[in-house]
Amino acid sequence: MKEAIRRFYQEWEPDLLLEVIGEKDFGRREFAVAPYSGPNMIRNLFFENVDELKKYLIEIVPIKAYVGSVYVRSGPVIPSGKSVGELSVDYRELTFDIDLTDYNDVRREIEGCRCRMEGKKVCPKCRPLANRALVILRRIAEDMFGTTRYKAFFSGRRGVHFRIYDENARKLAEEERYKLAAMLQVVHPSASLEPAKVLVPAKSHSLRLIVFEETVLYRVKKEGSLHKLSRLFSRRGIRPPRGYRKDLEIFLNKGVRNASYHEFVERVFNEGFEAIKDIIRKYYVRIDLKALTDSKRLMKIPGSLDASTMAVVEEIPKEEFETRMPEILRRQSSQV
């Protein structure tokens, strides 16, 4: 296997990595590896350019390869081996780490899911949870950050990484990242089989639109009828604005949001949250706070090889967020 990994990096093209991190501050960017033999992890690696990085990967033969933050320069080049604990972070891409083990309570409830009692496995029934997370993160990037500078990657195991790499996102301070995480974490991750905790979304109308449309209306579209939604609200004693069904149909068919539609969405969260709480639990993205807020957190290098599964950290094209199933998940699915 060692030689197979070496051949991979001999042929490896770093285009995906450079699209996300760029070349401008390459010499100040931390890298890390879990080598084929030797210590579990080697951190604090800095290279002047991508050719040096590639040469090192071929030589060290990593089981996994990681990229981290850009650090404040302490000299012409930051020396490898200098602890990142001694350095200050300049910036880091805004990174979301989605792991399907955080959805174990939902996976347990999915009819026909063959892996719900074995968190390390993934099957075709629970895989769409990762696809739904990507769709929601795309909305967050475009609607809340106003950017299309983002990419998604298969993690190499049971999830996906979503990275926003525009300048505004990169420069968010750690305190600002915590505030963002607190706002976006509507559903807490749940590694157990107990139902996850669900919070009323912060009073950000753009976030509430995303939550409502990508969970509640997503389910409506799946079931093909607004009638069940009407019954859901009526059982809770909620009186939606007059004509709300027409407003929803206009949005579902034409993507147009009129004033009464916006009013309806706010009333749902302010007066009828209990009616939709469980739908949100099942479909909303689960945010890993550490991955989002820790400025010194490492993530796998885009396009690299996770040799523990022999799976490439491959890009998931934007147009395939709702459907893409990486090859490793297909192999896992056939083995469950």
- Give the three-class secondary structure for 111: coil
pLDDT for residue 84:
66
pLDDT tens-digit profile of 238-272?
666 677 778 888 887 888 888 888 988 998 898 88
Neighbours of 149 (CB within 10 A): 17
Blockwise average pLDDT, block size 10, the chain, 336 residues: 94 95 93 88 92 96 96 63 73 93 88 66 81 95 95 87 94 92 92 88 94 91 74 69 77 83 88 88 92 92 92 90 63 42
pTM more than 0.85? yes
Q: What does the alpha-carbon distance between residue 35 and residue 58 come to, in Å, rounded to a whole number?
A: 11
pLDDT for residue 268:
86
- Checking 216-220 for CB contacts under 8 A at 24+ apart, the result is 216/268, 216/276, 216/279, 216/280, 217/248, 217/251, 217/252, 218/132, 218/283, 219/279, 219/283, 220/248, 220/252
| Centroid of chain to Cα 277 | 21
Residue type for 110, please?
A: I
Phi-psi region of 272 (alpha: psi -120 to 50; beta: other; left: phi over 0): alpha
Q: Pick from 231, 207, 279, 208: which is nearest to 245 by CA?
A: 231
